[in-house]
């Protein structure tokens, strides 16, 4: 049995390492209930999408993308109001996730009431 290491590129070995890391994280979530943040979940999903794109390639994905575009335009022709609501909802959800869910918390121990009392001179 010959090893395949010499027949593959460094990129393939790197992608295998990334897949191994994602599988270890998924295993630890399922078995031990390890919590992950939204930012980590977002990063893992980007990594999986990138690996799928590398595996399938643009030529394989092009028909699926074209079919999805055709169905989306057909959906817009049949139900234009619902399509607009979906687009606005997706934009709103993305903004909330980016600004609220993924943004770090600055100075959580700061109590603004004490600052306002000192600044305004009220007790």
pTM exceeds 0.85, yes or no: no
- Residue 108 has which token pair? 């959580």
Given a contact cutoff of 8 angstroms between Cβ atoms, the answer to whether 54 and 15 are in contact is: yes
Distance CA 18, CA 112 (A): 43
Q: According to the model, what pLDDT value does residue 81 have?
A: 95
The tens digit of pLDDT for each residue in 40-62 reads 888 888 988 888 888 888 788 88
Q: What confidence category does residue 1 fall into, taking pLDDT thresholds of 50, 70 and 90?
A: very low
In order of 32, 74, 83, 90, the CA distances from 77 in angstroms are 47, 5, 9, 19
| Mean pLDDT confidence for 100-109 | 61
Question: Averaging pLDDT over each range in 1-15, 46-60, 109-123, which range is the top one?
Answer: 46-60
Lowest mean pLDDT among 26-35, 52-61, 85-94, 105-114: 105-114
* Percentage of the chain exceeding pLDDT 90: 22
Q: How far apart are CA 20 and CA 27, in angstroms?
A: 10
């Amino acid at each position: 049995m010959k090893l395949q290491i010499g027949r593959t590129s460094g990129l393939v070995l790197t992608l295998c390492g990334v897949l191994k890391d994602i599988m270890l994280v998924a295993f630890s979530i399922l078995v031990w209930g390890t919590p992950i943040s939204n930012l980590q979940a977002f990063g893992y999903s980007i990594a999986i999408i990138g690996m799928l794109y590398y595996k399938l390639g643009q030529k394989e994905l092009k028909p699926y993308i074209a079919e999805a575009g055709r169905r989306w335009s057909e959906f817009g022709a049949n139900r234009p109001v619902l399509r607009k609501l979906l687009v606005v909802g997706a934009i709103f959800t993305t903004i909330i996730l980016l600004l609220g869910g993924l943004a770090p918390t600055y100075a959580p121990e700061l109590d603004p009431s004490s600052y306002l009392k000192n600044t305004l001179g009220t007790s």
